Structure 1
């Protein structure tokens, strides 16, 4: 991908995190506890879950210089993560418990602060080459920062829509972020099945591609 495309994705991520912070600062205590369409997750839990990304991006684990493995792509990671029996299914309860625990530990200001700290993470991203390597958490694999940004942006967009739905607010998400997320999800789907379904030539949908 081009450097300009990578920069555009970082810009989109910055806008989305700003939206998270904007919404959070206006929430009442009752709204923080609102249920969402993610079963067992309230608004605060989603804030805690997605809020792990800004500090993780700003201060990532070091990548060993001697790593020579070919980096995996965002599509590779998400396809493997979401296959039946994959981590998205097997670790769902563990991830939900971790999010609820973090939401309980942090006060509301602490949850919002993770997003208001977003500019530090964005500045760190802009200082890194798109093709520089970052470890894939929990595995021995690596990916590039360009591909990592795609995943972080997708997570931030999808769960922002979950929050807005839970709060009965309009799905107002920055257009560039929506576009990038749609592109990624379309790449995960089988291309022929996706095109056949999208053009009405098949009644078989390859969706959903994520849990």
Structure 2
């Protein structure tokens, strides 16, 4: 499928998913904000604080294009494999990420956390729609560069996985836009070693290649 079409569809899915985050957060009680999640040490507010940095930071000028960089852009699959490899940033930075989530929740008011999804989210999506799908940008502090179509795929994965974390913590049904679920499921399947995944998924092997993310 054409990159432009894929990019547009992923942005549509991300916009819908962030809208769910905004609507869910609007009516939460303080007891619900402080409910424990399956992310160790994180309550619902910490998960909101963690993921809401994406719409907050993306609702601003895009980083300079890295198209002229000597480094080749990697796919979302390769970025996740590197990030989650033994000794990768998923392990090395885990404690710092957790601390930032908890401190971010303490510093931001509940209203601000919701506003990041309700207001900054649509703003970020508008900025991304005006950019080319193949624009090459740095991916956080990972040291790799990705095309925007792949960067959005990574953000959509984060939005989906952490929305499920929140919904489960609140005892809510897992209501996530179908397109976000589909893209996330495909990405996770692509990250897994293909032979191991196929044989486990078809009952031909008891050895599971999952989980693929820390």
Check whether TM > 0.5. yes
| Deviation for aligned residue 1:64 | 4.9
Residue 68 of structure 1 corresponds to: 70
Residue 197 of structure 1 corresponds to: 200
Residue 81 of structure 1 corresponds to: 83
Q: Tell me whether 1:56 sits opposite 2:23 in the alignment.
A: no
Q: Deviations over 1:137-195 (max 9, x none)?
A: 22443110000001000000000000001111111111110000001000000111111
**Which of residues 128, 141, 145 in structure 2 aligns to 1:142?**
145
| Deviation for aligned residue 1:86 | 1.3
Q: Deviations over 1:46-78 (max 9, x none)?
A: 000000011222223323564232101111110
Q: State the TM-score, normalized to the length of structure 1.
A: 0.96
Residue 105 of structure 1 corresponds to: 107
CA distance, structure 2, for counterparts of residue 110 and residue 164 of structure 1: 19
CA distance, structure 2, for counterparts of residue 123 and residue 115 of structure 1: 13
CA distance, structure 2, for counterparts of residue 201 and residue 81 of structure 1: 29
Q: State the TM-score, normalized to the length of structure 2.
A: 0.95
CA distance, structure 1, for counterparts of residue 115 and residue 199 of structure 2: 44
| Deviation for aligned residue 1:104 | 0.6
Single out whichever of 145-154 and 87-96 deviates more from structure 2.
87-96
Single out whichever of 54-63 and 76-85 deviates more from structure 2.
54-63
Q: Counterpart of 1:203 in 2: which secondary structure?
A: coil
Aligned length: 211
CA distance, structure 2, for counterparts of residue 113 and residue 15 of structure 1: 15
Q: Counterpart of 1:151 in 2: which secondary structure?
A: helix
Q: Which runs of 5+ in 1 are unaligned?
A: none
CA distance, structure 1, for counterparts of residue 66 and residue 158 of structure 2: 26
CA distance, structure 1, for counterparts of residue 107 and residue 135 of structure 2: 34
Structure 1 residues 31, 40: CA separation in 2 closer, same or farther (over 3 Å shift)?
same
